[in-house]
A and B are shown apart, each in its own frame.
Chain A
Amino acid sequence: MPIRVAIFKPGLDSHYRGALTVTRYLVSRGMEVVYLGNQLPAAAVRAALQEDVDVLGISSLSGNHRESVPAVLAELRAQGGEDIVVILGGIIPDVDRPMLLDAGVRRIFGPGTPLAHIAEKITLLVRERGGSAASVPIGSLS
C-alpha cells in the first residue's frame, strides 16, 4: 500500500509554490497525495479522514501557523484522527517550534529543505507509526 498524504494551506495563506512542489515530488516517489487547497481546520481534518490518509501536511508561509496548527491538532482529536501524522512546512520561526512540536506536530520543514529529505522523513514517520507497509524505496536517499 502506498503512503497516502493530504496537503493543505490553512486560512488565507496564498503561496502554493511549496505545497505543490512537495505534492508533485511525493507523487513521483510513489505516494498518493491529494492537495486540498485552502481549508479551515475542521474541513481539512474531515477531508483527511475521508481520504483515509496516513499523513496530513500543513503548508503555512503567512505566519498563521500559531493559530491554525493548534486548531488542526484539536480537530484531529475531536474527529478521531489522532493516528494521522501531522507535518508542517513553510516559514516557521525557531521560537514557535517547541510549542508546535509539543502540541503534536511530528516534523517541521523550513525553506530550503531538500524534497528527498521530506519524503524520507514521511516514510520513516509512517513506518514508526506501524501503519501502511511503506513501498517507497528509501535506499537511494542520503
Chain B
Amino acid sequence: MTSRIAGASGAVVTEKATSPVQRWREQYGSETMPARTEAGIPVAPLYGPEAAAGDYETDLGVPGSPPYTRGVYPTMYSGRAWSIRPLAGFGTVEDTNRRLRLLLAEGATAINTVFDYPTNRGYDSDDEWARSDAGLGGVAVDSVDDMVDLYAGIPLDEVSVSLVLSHPVAAGAILAMYLAAARRRGLDPAQLSGTLQNDFMMETVVLTAPSVLEPDFAFRLSMDVTEYCTRHLPRWHPVSFTGYNYREAGADAVLEVALVVANAVATVQAMRARGLPVDAVARRLSAFFTAGSDLFEEVAKYRAARRVYHEVLTDRFNPVDERSTRLRFHVQTSGSALTAAQPLNNIARAALHGLAAVLGGAQSLHVSAFDEALCVPSETAALTALRTQQILLAETGITRSIDPLAGSYLVEHLTNQIDSRVRETLATIDEMGGLVEAVNLGWVHAQILDGACQATADIDEGRRPVVGVNLSANQAPTAVETFDVPETLPRQRERLTRVRSRRGNAAVTAALHHLDQCVVDGTNTIPALIAAAEAGATLGQCCDVFRTRHGGWRQPLR
C-alpha cells in the first residue's frame, strides 16, 4: 500500500509497505508504555508518515479555504494578531469600568465583560436569592443605568465588546439594556460590534440554579436573540457556543467540539424555521473553547473542530456564502486545570494553555490569572495574564508561519482521531433527535458528569499527574494575597432605589405585560425586552416573566 501524505516539510512523500516506523515499533515497541490523551485517544511513542495519511487538498488545504483545518482566514496572525481580550468583571459597574479601562490602557485590544451570578441568572441584586452573590464572579447589572455607567468612557463603536452573559433567561434582557445604553449615548446599534454568549446549554446543562428554564423554552429565548441580531445587528455575534464551559463541567475535548457543532446545527435549523436562510445566520455564529494541559490534543482539537464544522454545515445546509462554514472562536485558558496549591505554578500552566490556543489558530484569547482557583483575579494577576499574551505574541515568534504544527505526524493523527470521534458523537446526538432532545433526555448531563467523576478519580488515584496536587505536593505553602471584591450590595441597593423611584411604574407594568404576551404567543421577545429596559424595568422583573411561565425544570443531575 502506498499513501500520499503531508510530510513535516509540507511536501508530499510516498512510503513503501514496511516503513522505518513499523520496523522501529517491532524492535522497540515492547519497551514503551501505552499512553492515552486526556480524551482517551491512544498515543503511540512514534509516528511516521502513515499516521497522517489523507489527501492534503481535501483534508488540510490552505488557510482561509475549505475545509479550514489550517485556519479560517487566509493570512491568520501574519495578517493580524489575535484579539487580546481579557475577561473582567466584579463588584459594581464603577469597579469594573475602572478595571476595563486599565486593561485597555495596558494593551488589551478588545474587552470581555463577565456578569455576576445574579445577573447571569436574571435576578436583581437585592433579591433574597441574589444578596449573597451580588458582585461575585462578575459585575452586577440591574438596569439600563448600570449598563450606561459600565461602559462610560469606552468607545463602543470602536471596541469590540463581548458580553459574558450566558443564560438565555437573562441574555435577551442584557442585550436589550446594552442596546438601550448605546442609544442613550447616541450610537446606532447597527454599528456595534461584539458577542453575546447566549447558550441554552449554560442554562440547562452546564450550570445550575434555583429555577431552571425548560430546555425547549431556554432554546427558544436564545433563538429570539439570534433572530433579532441577525435581522438588526449586522456586526454582532448573537451566540457563542460555550465549549469552554462544557469542558470545565466535565466534558473531554471530543465532547466539547461535538456539542458545539451540534448546537450550531440546532441553531441553523431553528433559524430556518423562522425564515432565515443559513447564509444570513451562520456567518455570525461563533464559539468559545478552552485550552487545557494536553498540548497536542488541544491543538488538534481546534484544527479538527474547524474541519468538522465546515463539513457538517456544508453537508446539512448547503450554504453559498463561504463565511457560513468558518468556525471562528475565542479561547479562554482552562480555569479548572489551575490549582489552589502552589498557585504561582499556574503562570506556567496558563502560558502553555495559551500556547496551545495560538498554535491552534484562535481568533481571540483570554489567559486565566494564576489566582483563579483562589479568588477573583487581583490586578497583579490580571496584568500578569495580559503580559503572558504579549510574551506569546511578541517574543516567541510562533505567529510567523500559519498553522505551524500542520504536517506533524502526531498532530495530524490526533486531528483525524478527534475528527472521527466527534462525528461518532454527533451521530449519537442525531439519533436522539438533536441537541435539545439530548438535553431533555439527560444524556448530555450524564456524559459530562461521568467525565467529571472520571477526571477526579484519575487525579486522586495518581493516573493523571498534577504538580503540587498529587506530585511534589509537600512544598511549604506559598502565600498569595487574595483579592477582595469590594462590597457590592449596599451600593447596588442605592442604584436600584434610584431607578425604581425615577421610572413610571405604569409604563413598566405595561411593558412587562407585553413581554408576557410575547412569551405566550411566540412573538420574538427582544423588542419587548428593549421597551421594558427603556421604561426602567429591572433585570429581575423581566426574567421573572420567563420563570413564571417556564421555570422550575428539574435538571437530570444524578
Contact = CB atoms under 8 A, between A and B. Distances in A.
Interface string A4-46: 0000011111111100110011000000000101111000000
B456 to A, nearest CB: 5
Contacts of A67: 131-132
A116 B457 CA distance: 10
B137 interface: yes
Contact of B250 (A17, A38, A94): A17
A74 to B, nearest CB: 13
Contacts of B339: 111-112
Given A9-B208, A12-B129, A14-B207, A64 B136 contact: yes
A110 interface: yes
Contacts of B375: 63, 91, 93
Interface in B92-132: 117-118, 120-121, 123, 128-132
Which of B123, B208, B250, B460 has the most C-beta atoms of chain A within 10 angstroms of its own C-beta?
B208
B376 interface: yes
A11 to B, nearest CB: 4
A13 B133 contact: yes
A15 B460 contact: no
B208 A16 contact: yes
Which of B117, B132, B133 has the most C-beta atoms of chain A within 10 angstroms of its own C-beta?
B132
B210 interface: yes
Nearest to A27: B558
Contact of B373 (A12, A35, A91): A91
Interface string B118-154: 1011010000111111001100000000000000000
B118 A12 contact: yes
B469 A17 contact: no
B132 A68 contact: yes
A47 to B, nearest CB: 13
Contacts of B207: 14-16
Contact of B128 (A20, A40, A94): A40
A115 interface: yes
Interface residues of B, number: 41
B466 A38 contact: no
A77 to B, nearest CB: 19
B208 A91 contact: no
A38 to B, nearest CB: 4
B518 interface: no
A63 B135 CA distance: 10
Contacts of A112: 339-341, 459, 466, 469
Contacts of B341: 112
A25 B120 CA distance: 30
B520 interface: no
Contact of A21 (B128, B248, B453): B453
Contacts of B129: 11-12, 38, 40
B452 A20 contact: yes
Interface string B438-449: 000000000001
Nearest to A39: B210
Given A112-B340, A112-B466, A24 B453 contact: yes
B213 to A, nearest CB: 14
A12 B452 contact: no
Interface in B418-456: 449, 452-453, 456
Contact of A13 (B117, B128, B457, B485): B117
B394 interface: no
Which of B123, B129, B459 has the most C-beta atoms of chain A within 10 angstroms of its own C-beta?
B129
Nearest to B123: A12
Interface in B233-264: 248-250
Nearest to A111: B340
A140 B132 CA distance: 40
A63 B137 contact: yes
B357 to A, nearest CB: 22
Interface in B442-488: 449, 452-453, 456-457, 459-460, 466, 469, 482, 485
Contacts of B460: 114-116
A37 to B, nearest CB: 6
Given A12-B210, A17-B249, A114-B460, A91 B557 contact: no
Interface string A58-78: 000011101110010000000
Contacts of B132: 10-11, 64, 66-68, 71
B81 interface: no
A129 to B, nearest CB: 26
B133 A38 contact: no
Which of A14, A111, A112 has the most C-beta atoms of chain B within 10 angstroms of its own C-beta?
A14
A39 B132 CA distance: 12
B374 interface: yes
A11 B489 CA distance: 14
Given A11-B133, A16-B557, A38 B449 contact: no
23 contacts: A12-B117, A12-B118, A12-B123, A12-B129, A14-B117, A14-B120, A16-B207, A24-B453, A37-B208, A37-B210, A40-B128, A40-B129, A63-B133, A64-B132, A64-B136, A67-B131, A91-B374, A94-B482, A112-B340, A112-B341, A112-B466, A115-B456, A116-B460
Given A12-B210, A71-B132, 18 more contacts: A11-B130, A11-B132, A12-B129, A15-B208, A16-B557, A17-B452, A20-B557, A21-B452, A21-B456, A24-B453, A37-B208, A40-B129, A62-B137, A93-B375, A110-B340, A112-B341, A115-B460, A116-B460
Closest 5 pairs between A and B when the two form their complex, measured CB to CB: A67-B132, A14-B207, A64-B132, A12-B117, A63-B136
Interface of A: 9-17, 20-21, 24-25, 35, 37-40, 62-64, 66-68, 71, 91, 93-95, 110-112, 114-116
